[in-house]
Amino acid sequence: MISIILTDQIIHLPDLVAQVESTAAGAVATFSGNVRRHDHGKKVSTLSYAIHPQTEAILNQVVREVVNRHKVVSVAVAHRFGDIEMGQSALIVAVSAEHRDAAFTACAELVDEIKAKIPIWKHQVFTDGTDEWVNCA
């Protein structure tokens, strides 16, 4: 089972874990990328993500490619867009597999591939009034 969510609503790690838990899986590995109050030594005041219209299709393709390389039972990926408050999750990945090695490896690869390939742009506004756009998830 593969679940992909792109949303402007708050996402919660336990919700994604519940989607991938199974009696067929002996391991669940997770990642939660949370918005922090600083970046490159500067304090962040606001953060938002903008997505390309093809983001969902590309995300689907990336997830399927990683799943095909590993023995996983289920995968759930959720990525926020729009304004996100400090401390909230921007990206959550949950992977279940028969064994921990496959779950950890697939989860780490998914996060890396998502950050490298998904057309999502981060806009940060800093407390000093400057801002930056970053092409990363």
Mean pLDDT of 84-90: 95
Q: How many residues does the chain have?
A: 137
- Alpha-carbon dihedral 36, 37, 41, 45, rounded to 10 degrees: 130
Each residue's pLDDT tens digit, 51-82: 999 999 999 999 999 999 999 999 999 999 99
Each residue's pLDDT tens digit, 10-23: 999 999 999 999 99
The confidence score (pLDDT) of residue 78 equals 98
Are 28 and 108 a contacting pair, CB within 8 Å? no
From CA 109, how far away is CA 65, in angstroms rounded?
10
The strand pair at 120-126 and 131-134 is best described as antiparallel
Quickly list DSSP for 86-118: TTSEEEEEEEEESSHHHHHHHHHHHHHHHHHHS
What pTM was estimated for this model as a whole? 0.93
Each residue's pLDDT tens digit, 108-135: 999 999 999 999 999 999 999 999 998 7
The confidence score (pLDDT) of residue 40 equals 84
The CB-side HSE value for 135 (13 A sphere, CA atoms) comes to 6
Are 50 and 136 a contacting pair, CB within 8 Å? no
Mean pLDDT of 33-54: 93
Hey, what are 91's tokens? 């990206």
Q: Where residue 48 falls among pLDDT bands split at 50, 70, 90? A: very high
The confidence score (pLDDT) of residue 137 equals 47
Mean pLDDT of 91-103: 97
Are 27 and 102 a contacting pair, CB within 8 Å? yes
Could you tell me which CATH number the domain at 2-134 has?
A: 3.90.1170.40
